[in-house]
A and B are shown apart, each in its own frame.
Chain A
Amino acid sequence: MTSAYDWWIAIVVVGLLNYLSRLSFIAVFAKVQMPPLVARALRFVPAAMLMAIVVPAVVFSSPGTLAFSYTNPKLVAALAAAAVAWYTRNAVATMTLGMATLWIVQWVR
C-alpha cells in the first residue's frame, strides 16, 4: 500500500496542474488578442483530441496488440455506437446501444 502522503500529493498536484491547464488560455486571452491562426486551429481540437482518446480504447484487444477485425467486440460495438451517434446525436442512446452491442458480440463469441 502506498502511503497516504503519496495519494494526497498526487491528488493536489495533478488537480492543480489540470486547473492551470484549463485556466491557461482563458486567463491569457482575456487580456491579449488571439492570433487568427490559433483561432482557426482551435476548431479542430475536439475532433482530433476525442479521436485520439477513443481509438486506442477500441482497437487494442490487449496492450500493444491491434485487433482490426469483426472478432473484436469493442470495435464492432464502437462502430454501432458511432452510427447511432451519427443519426440520433443522443449520448444516452449511443452509450446504451454501444454497451448492448458489446454484450451481444461478447456473448455470441
Chain B
Amino acid sequence: MAPSLIGLLPFGLVCGVGAQSAGASPGEALGMSALIFSGAAQILACQLMAAKAPLTVTILTCFVIGLRFLMYSAAMAPHMKPLPERWRHAVAFLLTDQAFAAAVRRFRDSGDTRNGASYALGTGVLLWATWQVSCTVGYWVGNVIPAAWSLEFVVPLCFLALLVPALEDGPTRVAALAAGIAVLALDSLPMRLSLICAGLVGIAAGLIAEARRGAP
C-alpha cells in the first residue's frame, strides 16, 4: 500500500497545480480534492472551467470519466455484502483506482471478507488524507515547478503502475489490447466517451477470450 501512497503524491501535486492555474480559490481547490476525490475528474474539471466551458459540459464530462467507478463498485459489491450499511457507504466514497486495486489484491490473497473490507476502509482513509495534502501542496507551491519537468506525465505513469499487475493471464491481456485499440479508434467521440466505450469493448473481448480458452 505504501507504493500507492507515495505514487499519489506527484499525482496530487499535478492536480493542485491544475486547480491553481485554472483560477480556483483555495476553498474551491480543497473542495475538489475533498468532495470529488478523483484526480482524473479534477484535472478535467479544471481544464474545462479554465476554458469557460458551459457548466453542464463540465459536469457531464466528469461524470463520464467517472463511469469506471460503476465497474469498480460492481467488482467490490460481493465483498461488501456482509458489511453494515454505513461501512459500505464509507468504503464507496473512498473508492478510487488505487484503493480498488489494493482492495482487490487483498480480497484475493486473504479471502477473509471482513478483513478485506476494513482494509479497504483503512486504505481509503489514508489515501484520502494523503490526497488532500498533496493537492494542497501542489496548489500553493506547484507553480515553482518548471514546465520542462513534464510533471504531469506522472499521471499516466500512476495508472500504468496499476495496469501492468492487472494483466495476469491471457484473457485479461486480450481485454487490455482490445481496450487500447478501441480507445484510439473512438478518440473522436465527444466528452471522452471513448473511455467508457473502450472499457466495454475490452471487457467483451476478455469474456470472449475466456470463453474460447475454456472450450474443449
Residue with the greatest number of chain B CB neighbours at <10 A, chosen from A7, A17, A103? A7
- With A22-B95, A26-B88, A66-B184 given, is the CB distance from A85 to B161 under 8 Å? yes
Chain B, residues 52-76, CB within 8 Å of chain A (1/0): the string is 1001001100110011111111111
B118 at the interface (CB under 8 A from A): no
Partner of A9, one of B55, B85, B100, B104: B55
A45, closest chain B residue (CB): B71
Least Cβ distance of A25 to chain B in Å? Answer: 4
Interface assignment of A108: CB less than 8 Å from any CB of chain B: no
User: Given A44-B207, A45-B75, is A18 in contact with B36 using a C-beta cutoff of 8 Å?
Assistant: yes
Which of A11, A18, A47, A55 has most B Cβ within 10 Å?
Answer: A47
Interchain CA distance A10-B97 in the complex, whole Å: 22
Is the CB–CB distance between A27 and B88 below 8 Å? Answer: yes
**Alpha-carbon distance A47/B93, docked complex (angstroms):** 22
A57-109 contacts to B, CB under 8 A, are 57-59, 64, 66, 74, 77-78, 81-82, 85-86, 89-92, 94-95, 98-99, 102-103, 106
Given A30-B80, A47-B179, A48-B206, decide whether A98 and B153 contact each other with a Cβ distance below 8 A.
yes
**B77 and A34 contact, CB distance less than 8 A:** yes
B35 proximal to A (CB < 8 A)? yes
B203's partner among A17, A29, A41 (CB-CB below 8 A) is: A41
Q: Which residues of B contact A39 (CB under 8 A)?
A: 78
- Inter-chain contacts of A103 with B (CB < 8 A): 149-150
A24, B73: Cβ atoms closer than 8 Å:
yes
B103–chain A nearest beta-carbon distance, Å: 11
Shortest A45–chain B CB gap in Å is 4
- CB contact list, B170-216 vs A, under 8 A: 171-173, 175-180, 182-184, 187, 194-195, 198-203, 205-207, 210
> Which of A9, A19, A24, A52 has its CB near the most chain B CB atoms (within 10 A)?
A52
Cβ of B4 within 8 Å of any chain A Cβ, yes or no, is yes
Chain A residues, CB < 8 A from B123: none
Q: Are A34 and B78 in contact (CB under 8 A)?
A: yes
Spell out B's residues near A (CB within 8 Å): 3-4, 6-7, 10, 23-25, 28, 31-32, 35-38, 40-41, 45, 49, 52, 55, 58-59, 62-63, 66-78, 80-81, 83, 85, 88-89, 91-93, 95, 97, 100-101, 104, 148-150, 153-167, 171-173, 175-180, 182-184, 187, 194-195, 198-203, 205-207, 210
